[in-house]
């Protein structure tokens, strides 16, 4: 009789060298680790879990929809999912559908790569008002993430303030400033595109609490604001240093130099030339969001001076006439029941990527929300190497059956798991229903996606 190999994760040849590995979260860090372990660990079966029916995490729902070049990284991740020993298990929430303990019981290795999806709190009066949004929620909304499908952001005033001087703040400013035509190859949802197109916005303010030298913009993203059709970008020449000071971090100097040059260009722009103005304001901290009838009607800023690169309040305030406030000031991770959590840093508690024996973490939930995709790749590779070394020292015993045991549990809980083939159906349906040059029209409700699979 010939045994049928079911791909259940148990060792079909009985030589006890199968390592069942669960990756939790299918964003860039999870995909990089999965690919590495699938290639390098003898007998590895790698199962990538995600709470959504769709893979790729922030690449799908965080990277700006008009940055399709960046999103092309999924081609590389798709190759990882197509390996015989890699399995996508979508629509499974760890901590709800299956516990952390159950995963540890079923897998030799668990790697948690769930990112940092919660917006940091501004911590100022008025932050709970209608018309105030975190960048994570706002970007998830225009990117069609099911969590924010009902955000319905209020963009019906002439002024919008964006707080923060990082690339996320630039992404949001650009998306709000672009015309519909400039978004025609973007995978923004139709609803978000219409809401933004019908906004009467005339003034967008990008606000940094420190100066141009301390901003964390990369120059490519800052320069992109130069070529917008309906929007002129403005900066105040008095706020732009004439040169890089002595002792400035040499690693950061090139970007800072390029940013100063770009900002000087913006300072020379003529404000009258276009119907929308994007004002880049430095050295101003938000202290209060002002309200009329429960809705945002202004933002109070306190002007700062810089002392050794630190913002120090001057006590002088100014009110901006805005009806929407978006804070782009960073994120924290979501705790998972049973996994130690560092409340202060908003990350999973770990030592160089290890949470406890057999459990690892990488990416933004390991070290905080910093770094572009290549930086997360490097981090994931380092953690992957550590996992390989630990498995070499303590090989899997063959006792843990990975997906076989886990899928049996999920079946008893009526969890409809989504396979990679299922995801390909969703993917194709998104591509098929799109119009014009858009790469896809995303489904942004889980029920809609699951309905395609019945």
Is residue 371 close enough to count as binding ligand NAP by CB under 6 A? yes
Is residue 164 close enough to count as binding ligand NAP by CB under 6 A? yes
In angstroms, what is the minimal distance from the CB of 166 to ligand NAP?
2
* Chain residue at closest Cβ approach to ligand NAP: 166
451 three-state secondary structure: helix
Neighbours of 75 (CB within 10 A): 8
User: By C-beta, is 125 or 268 nearer to ligand NAP?
Assistant: 125
Is residue 168 close enough to count as binding ligand NAP by CB under 6 A? yes
Q: Which helix (H) or strand (E) holds 171?
A: helix 167-177
In angstroms, what is the minimal distance from the CB of 287 to ligand NAP?
10
Name the segment binding ligand NAP (CB under 6 A); options: 104-112, 270-278, 289-297, 368-376: 368-376
User: By C-beta, is 41 or 139 nearer to ligand NAP?
Assistant: 139
Name the segment binding ligand NAP (CB under 6 A); options: 72-80, 234-242, 322-330, 378-386: 322-330
Is residue 372 close enough to count as binding ligand NAP by CB under 6 A? yes
Is residue 333 close enough to count as binding ligand NAP by CB under 6 A? no
DSSP code of residue 352: T
Cα distance between residue 20 and residue 110, in whole Å = 9
The four Cα atoms 336, 342, 348, 353 give a dihedral, to 10 degrees, of: -160
| 113, 167, 199, 262: which one binds ligand NAP (CB under 6 A) | 167
User: By C-beta, is 109 or 177 nearer to ligand NAP?
Assistant: 177
Is residue 214 close enough to count as binding ligand NAP by CB under 6 A? yes
Closest CA to 18 of 106, 143, 125: 106
The residues in 72-131 that bind ligand NAP, with binding defined as CB under 6 A, are 122
Cα–Cα distances (Å) from 277 to 84, 192, 338, 351, in that order, read 52, 21, 48, 46
Closest CA to 333 of 136, 114, 58: 114
Phi-psi region at 401: left, alpha or beta (left = phi > 0; alpha = psi -120 to 50): alpha
User: By C-beta, is 169 or 263 nearer to ligand NAP?
Assistant: 169
Is residue 163 close enough to count as binding ligand NAP by CB under 6 A? yes
In angstroms, what is the minimal distance from the CB of 61 to ligand NAP?
13
How many residues lie near ligand NAP (CB under 6 A)? 24
| 45, 143, 165, 444: which one binds ligand NAP (CB under 6 A) | 165
> Both tokens of residue 446?
């889980």
Q: Which helix (H) or strand (E) holds 139?
A: helix 135-142
CB 25 within 8 A of CB 112: yes
Handedness of CA 132, 137, 143, 144 (dihedral sign): negative
Cα distance between residue 22 and residue 259, in whole Å = 42
The residues in 282-321 that bind ligand NAP, with binding defined as CB under 6 A, are 285
The 10 Å CB-count burial string (b at 16+, else e) for 43-66 is: bbbbbbbbbbbbbbbbbbbbbbbb
User: By C-beta, is 210 or 277 nearer to ligand NAP?
Assistant: 210
Name the segment binding ligand NAP (CB under 6 A); options: 19-27, 162-170, 318-326, 397-405: 162-170
Pairing of strands 19-24, 44-49: parallel
Name the segment binding ligand NAP (CB under 6 A); options: 92-100, 188-196, 210-218, 412-420: 210-218
CB 151 within 8 A of CB 134: no
User: By C-beta, is 86 or 296 nearer to ligand NAP?
Assistant: 296
The residues in 387-416 that bind ligand NAP, with binding defined as CB under 6 A, are none
User: By C-beta, is 104 or 332 nearer to ligand NAP?
Assistant: 332
Is residue 166 close enough to count as binding ligand NAP by CB under 6 A? yes
End-to-end, the C-alpha distance of the chain in Å comes to 35
The residues in 9-38 that bind ligand NAP, with binding defined as CB under 6 A, are none
Is residue 370 close enough to count as binding ligand NAP by CB under 6 A? yes
Cα distance between residue 267 and residue 262, in whole Å = 9
Is residue 328 close enough to count as binding ligand NAP by CB under 6 A? yes
Is residue 224 close enough to count as binding ligand NAP by CB under 6 A? no
Name the segment binding ligand NAP (CB under 6 A); options: 30-38, 105-113, 324-332, 394-402: 324-332
In angstroms, what is the minimal distance from the CB of 203 to ligand NAP?
19
> Both tokens of residue 35?
């690919």
Is residue 186 close enough to count as binding ligand NAP by CB under 6 A? no
Residues ≥6 apart with Cβ < 8 Å to 150: none
Is residue 221 close enough to count as binding ligand NAP by CB under 6 A? yes
Cα distance between residue 74 and residue 67, in whole Å = 13
Note the residues at the interface with ligand NAP (CB under 6 A).
Answer: 122, 163-169, 171, 208-210, 214, 216, 218, 221, 285, 328-330, 369-372
């Amino acid at each position: 009789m010939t045994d049928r190999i079911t791909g259940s994760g148990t060792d079909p040849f009985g030589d006890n060298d199968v390592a069942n590995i669960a990756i939790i979260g299918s964003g860039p860090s999870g995909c990089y680790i999965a690919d590495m372990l699938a290639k390098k660990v003898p007998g590895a079966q790698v199962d990538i879990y995600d709470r959504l029916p769709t893979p790729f995490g922030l690449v799908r729902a965080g990277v700006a929809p008009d940055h399709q070049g960046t999103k092309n990284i999924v081609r590389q991740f798709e190759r990882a999912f197509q390996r015989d020993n890699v399995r996508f298990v979508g629509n499974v929430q760890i901590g709800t559908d299956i516990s952390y303990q159950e995963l540890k019981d079923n897998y030799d290795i668990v790697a948690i790569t769930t990112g940092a999806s919660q917006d940091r709190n501004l911590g100022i009066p008025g932050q709970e008002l209608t018309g105030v949004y975190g960048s994570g929620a706002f970007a998830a909304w225009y990117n069609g993430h099911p969590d924010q499908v009902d955000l319905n952001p209020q963009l019906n005033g002439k002024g919008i303030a964006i707080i923060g001087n990082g690339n996320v703040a630039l992404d949001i400013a650009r998306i709000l400033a672009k015309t519909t035509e400039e978004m025609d190859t973007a995978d923004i949802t139709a609803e978000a595109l219409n809401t933004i197109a019908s906004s009467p916005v005339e003034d967008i303010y990008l606000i940094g609490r420190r100066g141009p030298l301390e901003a964390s913009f990369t120059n490519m993203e800052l320069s992109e604001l130069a070529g917008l059709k309906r929007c002129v970008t403005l900066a105040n020449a008095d706020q732009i240093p004439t040169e890089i000071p002595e002792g400035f971090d040499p690693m950061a100097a090139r970007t800072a130099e390029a940013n100063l040059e770009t900002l000087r260009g913006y300072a020379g722009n003529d404000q009258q030339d276009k119907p929308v103005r994007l004002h880049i304001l430095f050295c101003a901290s938000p202290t209060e969001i002002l309200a009329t009838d429960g809705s945002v009607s202004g933002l109070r800023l306190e002007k700062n001076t810089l002392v050794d690169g630190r913002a120090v309040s001057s006590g002088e305030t100014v009110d901006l006439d805005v009806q929407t406030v978006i804070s782009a000031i960073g994120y924290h991770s979501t705790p998972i029941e049973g996994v130690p959590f560092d409340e202060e840093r908003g990350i999973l508690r770990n030592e160089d990527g290890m949470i406890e024996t057999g459990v690892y973490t990488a990416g933004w939930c390991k070290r905080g929300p910093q770094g572009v995709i290549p930086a997360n790749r490097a981090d994931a590779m380092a953690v992957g190497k550590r996992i390989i070394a630990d498995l070499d020292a303590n090989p899997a015993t063959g006792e843990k059956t990975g997906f076989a045991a886990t899928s049996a549990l999920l079946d008893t809980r009526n969890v409809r798991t989504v396979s990679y083939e299922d995801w390909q159906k969703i993917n194709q349906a998104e591509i098929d229903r799109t119009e014009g040059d858009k790469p896809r029209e995303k489904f942004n409700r889980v029920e809609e996606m699951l309905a395609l699979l019945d």
